Amino acid sequence: MADRLAKYDIAQICTNGHVINNSHERFREFSVDYCTECGAKTTTECANCKTPIRGAYSGSMRTGYDRPAYCHNCGEPYPWTSAALAAAMEFATDLQQQIEREKFAEIIENLVKDSPSTSVAAAKLRGLMGSMKPYASEALRQILTGVVTEGAKRILWPSAGK
């Protein structure tokens, strides 16, 4: 009986990825039009298909909320995911690493999707980051940390979870 009552609320997230309200329907008084952290416009739906962004799951014992990277309905990346991927690509281009841009793009793409290729992509990027200057490696970490999968994080930055 409880399963019938359980459902996802709608999340409100700014276009830079700051979670404003993971229970927009239930607690509208906490929703705002612009992010108080960065000033970006907030949204409650996928820009591509207009499906509401999944928020907190009511009727669950789970207390945390993980911001989604992709729309569960159409599979398109949310603006914060697209921006992180674009920033990582721009960063890599500026560094002029000894890797083809297309290969780097494939590595980055596999880090934000949980798939069999995720671990391989994380290992490849970790190797590349080892050859970067420390400031460059740290900048790339800051760009990617909010969008890569948990498994990729454990491979890329093993000491961060300790």
pLDDT top residue among 61 and 2 = 61
Kindly list the strands in the beta sheet with 42-43, ordered across the sheet, starting from the edge strand earlier in the chain.
19-21, 12-14, 42-43
Residue 3 has pLDDT above 50, yes or no: no
Establish if 46 belongs to a structural domain.
yes
Judged against a pLDDT cut of 60, whether residue 5 lies above it is answered with no
Q: Helices 79-95 and 134-144 sit at what angle, rounded to 10 degrees?
A: 160
Tell me: do 86 and 29 sit in the same domain: no
3-class SS shares of the chain: helix, strand, coil, % to 5:
45, 15, 45
Tell me the C-alpha distance between 125 and 92, whole Å: 11
Residue 67 lies in a domain: no
Question: In this predicted model, what pLDDT tens digit does every residue of 70-93 receive, in sequence order?
Answer: 999 999 999 999 998 888 877 776
The predicted pLDDT at position 2 comes to 43
Q: In total, how many domains does the chain have?
A: 2
Q: Assess whether 151 and 104 both reside in one domain.
A: yes
> pLDDT (tens digit, 9 = 90+) per residue, 92-145?
766 655 566 677 878 888 898 888 888 999 998 888 888 778 888 888 888 888
Q: Which domain holds residue 23?
A: 2-58
Record the tokens describing residue 21, joined without a space. Answer: 């309200």
Total-model pTM? 0.69
Of 23-27, 65-69, 91-95, the range with the lowest mean pLDDT is 91-95
